[in-house]
Amino acid sequence: MSDTPPLPGLVPDWPVSAAVRGFVTVREGGVSAGPFGAAGGAARGLNLGDHVGDDPVAVRENRARLEARLPGPVRWLRQVHGTAVHDADGSAPDVPAVADAAITTRPGTVIAVMTADCLPVLMADARGRGVGVAHAGWRGLAAGVLEATVDAMRARLGGDAPLQAWLGPAIGPAAFEVGDEVREAFCALDAAAAKAFVPGPAPGKWLADLYALARLRLASRGVTDVSGGGLCTVTDATRFYSHRRDRPSGRLASLVWLAR
């Protein structure tokens, strides 16, 4: 088994400890077809979501292809757009926790979130002692999922743990149209969030920048060493699934772990 899966995908470019490994899957590399397949519906899709209507046999094969190239089984989550953070070090790998984030300090334990427009955020301790991952759609961001993940990591590593973050592929600021209620939810938390919204094509509509909003929420916990952002799932149909573009759609996985 390899620490870097030889599948099509993205290796995060962030200045982390050599102990930290990360990977983001793309549409290619599996056996799913139709809306869950590669671009155009070819039966090469690596959909990893078992809750989106894909053939369960195909999903099992896709997950097996991924996990065969990892140092251990993936600790999948049952995501609900909340703020719960799962401690993967104290659970069985075959029981998905109901949570939208996870942390681990154990080498070889692979944690992940699935997305198809929401923002995946990888986190790591600068000293290589622990990693975290969060599923941050706008609801989770506004509710505090990133803050909760930072807090959980520091509770394990110490309150002064220097943390770094990487923002994965998500719906980009030119494609994410939201209503007044979304803008108001973030501006109530931080007036600076207003800069992450520009007027949309219709009254009461805004184009929101998830990457900028995530950076603000991380900064509120003192995490300012943030890399990534800028990869739009909606506009890049060749590489990424997008729920907003292609309902139904498959799911990408963003994974992080510590090398053994």
214-233 confidence digits (pLDDT tens): 999 999 999 999 999 999 99
Q: What pLDDT, on a 0 to 100 scale, did the predictor assign at position 218?
A: 98
Q: What pLDDT, on a 0 to 100 scale, did the predictor assign at position 6?
A: 67
Please, what is the average pLDDT of the chain? 95
Q: What pLDDT, on a 0 to 100 scale, did the predictor assign at position 2?
A: 45
pLDDT at residue 22 greater than cutoff 60: yes
H-state helical runs in 132-260: 138-143, 145-157, 180-189, 210-219
pLDDT digits (tens, 9 = 90+) for 78-112: 999 999 999 999 877 778 999 999 999 999 999 99
pLDDT digits (tens, 9 = 90+) for 139-170: 999 999 999 999 999 999 999 899 999 999 99
- Which pairing describes strands 85-87 and 77-78: parallel, antiparallel, or unpaired? unpaired
pTM of the model as a whole: 0.95
Q: What percent of the chain has pLDDT over 90?
A: 93
Identify which of 89, 155, 146, 119 has the alpha carbon closest to the alpha carbon of residue 228.
119
H-state helical runs in 30-172: 56-67, 138-143, 145-157
User: Which residues 6+ apart lie within 8 Å of 255 measured at CB?
Assistant: 22, 23, 24, 25, 70, 74, 110, 111, 112, 133
Q: What pLDDT, on a 0 to 100 scale, did the predictor assign at position 94?
A: 78
CATH superfamily label, 9-170+223-258: CNF1/YfiH-like putative cysteine hydrolases (3.60.140.10)
How far apart (Å, rounded) are the C-alpha atoms in residues 118 and 68? 26
Q: How far is CA 43 from the centre of its chain?
A: 24
